[in-house]
Structure formats: C-alpha cells, structure tokens
C-alpha cells in the first residue's frame, strides 16, 4: 500500500495546478538555466565545426537562415532575458530589498522580458 501512496506523491510533484507564483518563478528559473546550459554546449559544438574552414562556415550560415533556427534563437533570447531578470529579483530579495513585494517585482520584470522578446522577435523576423 505504501507504493501507491508514493506514486500519488510523485504525481502531485508534476501537477501544475494550485501552484503559487513563487513556485512558478522558481520553476521558470531552473528550466531557463537548463536550457541555457544546453545552448552553451550546442554553441561550443558549432564553434568547433566553424573552425574547420570557410566551407563549414558557409554551410552554417545557410542553415542559420532557416526559420526553425530563428525560432531557436528566439528561445535563447527569451531564456536569457527571463533567467537574467528573475535573477535580479532573487538578488534583490537576498539583500532584503522588496521582500514583501516579490509578486509585483516578478510580474514587472517578466513584463519587461516579454517586451524584450517581442522587440527582438520583430527585429529578427523582419530581416
């Protein structure tokens, strides 16, 4: 009977309902950190292939013009903005600044991130 209870507890961990805003901020910070780390490794692999000469560089540029690649770049920009701005909120509250206004700070910073992503998206896809 104990196994059924453990399985139920595990499912509740993945259940997105009834989560507070601070929990979503924590999850968002962790997911963007993982995404940026994955991007770092992919970036290093691409740099390694670009060192193989001009033909490898030309192939990469042709691939980078693909709309799917641009969507990936948008995800990196979004993750960087969200993670960085959420990190500012965490740093402020770590120093005792705005601890009783975390919800307002988080929503304001995420609104700034949204504006930044839209701005970069317009610039990126209008080329």
| pTM for the predicted model, two decimal places | 0.80
**Whether residue 1 has pLDDT greater than 50:** no
**What's the CATH number where 112 sits?**
1.20.1300.10
* Residue 12 placed within a domain: no
Structure tokens at 40: 């770092």
pLDDT digits (tens, 9 = 90+) for 17-52: 888 888 889 989 999 999 999 999 988 988 888 888
Least confident stretch, 5-9, 53-57, 79-83: 5-9
User: How confident is the model over 119-125, as a mean pLDDT?
Assistant: 91
Helix (H, G, I), strand (E, B) or coil at 66: coil
Q: What is the mean pLDDT of the chain?
A: 88
* Residue 8 placed within a domain: no
- Provide the domain limits for residue 53: 20-125
- Non-local (6+) Cβ contacts of 22 within 8 A are 102, 103, 106
- Alpha-carbon 127 to chain mean position: 24
For the chain, how many structural domains are there in total? 1
């Amino acid at each position: 009977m104990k196994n059924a209870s453990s399985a139920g507890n595990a499912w509740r961990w993945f259940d997105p309902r009834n989560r507070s805003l601070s929990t979503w901020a924590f999850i968002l910070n962790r997911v963007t950190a993982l995404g940026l780390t994955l991007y770092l490794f992919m970036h290093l692999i691409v740099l390694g292939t670009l060192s193989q000469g001009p033909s490898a560089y030309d192939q990469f540029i042709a691939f980078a013009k693909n709309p799917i690649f641009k969507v990936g770049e948008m995800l990196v920009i979004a993750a960087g903005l969200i993670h960085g701005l959420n990190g500012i909120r965490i740093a402020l509250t770590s120093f005792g600044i705005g601890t009783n206004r975390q919800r307002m700070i988080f929503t304001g910073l995420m609104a700034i991130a949204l504006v930044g992503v839209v701005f970069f998206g317009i610039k990126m896809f209008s080329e």
